[in-house]
Structure 1
Amino acid sequence: MATTYSISDLAREFDLTTRAIRFYEDMGLLQPGRSGPGGRSRVYTPRDRTRLKLTLRAKRLGLSLSEAKELIDMYDSPRDTGPQLRKFLVVLAAHRQQLEEQLAEVQANLDEVKVHEKEARALLARTDKAALPAGAAGKLAGVAP
């Protein structure tokens, strides 16, 4: 008998909720069979398990679910791998460009935060120095008043 998985099996294996797996099914990423009375139980095949694994990998890379589905469907088709790989490279290059732009924005924000931290420290040092009694600032600095 072929290996099959229940929704709970996959949820446990991939640390997902069953609701998340049903969502991926609704998005067309998984197509489980049905069993039991009235077809109420989902039965996942090794193909479904692989598609779920690829979906989660694409998600970690930051691809949208529609991009993930398009790429996964492409690999399921019996077409030539050359066009598939070219399409995959186009999607990855576009995603890399987007991530590089986000990284540049984050770096600019981080640089700005560092400037504000430096300014706040300088203001705090001046405020603390001004709050000391007369002559105390010089003593702290090791200088006679």
Structure 2
Amino acid sequence: MTTWSIAELAAEFEVTLRTIRFYEDRGLLTPERRGTTRVYHPRDRVRLSLILRGKRLGFSLDEIARIVDMYDAEPGEEGQLVYLLDQITHRRQELEQRRRDIEDTLQDLAEVETRCHTDLKALRNGTA
């Protein structure tokens, strides 16, 4: 079975050792201990990937913990699937709103930029 050290996981996922230890302290990762050495198994690697993806998507650590714990649970339990679907719907709505806000802001910036170019051209031509 493939295993990883904390340094290998940190390098692979481009996070600090402190970040991984923080997730351990929160109970999100549970590496095997061999003396003072942490040994991470494929389960830990998958969980770290899910945690980091959840963070990128804006989930809180509590939400991530619930979702990641579902990964280990028996598939098909109705309550878990309903919860996960609710979280997906909620997050999708938030992200869609952010996308609309970003698109609106980009359009506003483009309009201001066009006006600035027009005003600058007029100033340089002495027609302002």
Same fold (TM over 0.5): yes
Cα gap change, 1:126 to 1:9, in 2 (>3 Å): closer
Contact 1:54 / 1:72 at 8 angstroms: preserved in 2?
yes
Q: Distance in 2 between matches of 1:113 and 1:45?
A: 48
Question: How big is the alpha-carbon RMSD for the aligned residues of Structure 1 and Structure 2?
Answer: 2.1
Q: Distance in 2 between matches of 1:130 and 1:79?
A: 72
Runs (5+) with no aligned partner, structure 1: 132-145
Give the equivalent residue in structure 2 for 1:12: 11
Query: Larger radius of gyration, structure 1 or 2?
Result: 1
The yes-or-no answer on 1:48 pairing with 2:44 is yes
Q: Distance in 1 between matches of 2:124 and 2:75?
A: 72
Q: Distance in 1 between matches of 2:13 and 2:115?
A: 47
User: 1:66 is aligned with what amino acid?
Assistant: D
Give the equivalent residue in structure 2 for 1:115: 111
User: 2:25 is aligned with what amino acid?
Assistant: D
Q: Match for 2:91 among 92, 95, 98?
A: 95
Percent of residue pairs bearing the same amino acid type:
43
User: 1:6 is aligned with what amino acid?
Assistant: S
Shift of 1:80: 4.3
SS of 2:126's partner is helix
CA deviation string 1:66-120 (max 9, x = no partner): 2111111123234743322221111111111111111121122111111111211
Runs (5+) with no aligned partner, structure 2: none
Superposition TM-score, scaled by structure 2 size: 0.82
Alignment: residue pair count: 127
Q: Distance in 2 between matches of 1:59 and 1:130?
A: 53
Q: Distance in 2 between matches of 1:7 and 1:54?
A: 17
Say which structure, 1 or 2, has more relative contact order (CA 8 Å, 6+ apart).
2
Q: Distance in 2 between matches of 1:53 and 1:109?
A: 32
Matches within 5 A, 1:1-145: 3-36=2-35, 40-78=36-74, 80-130=76-126
SS of 2:4's partner is coil
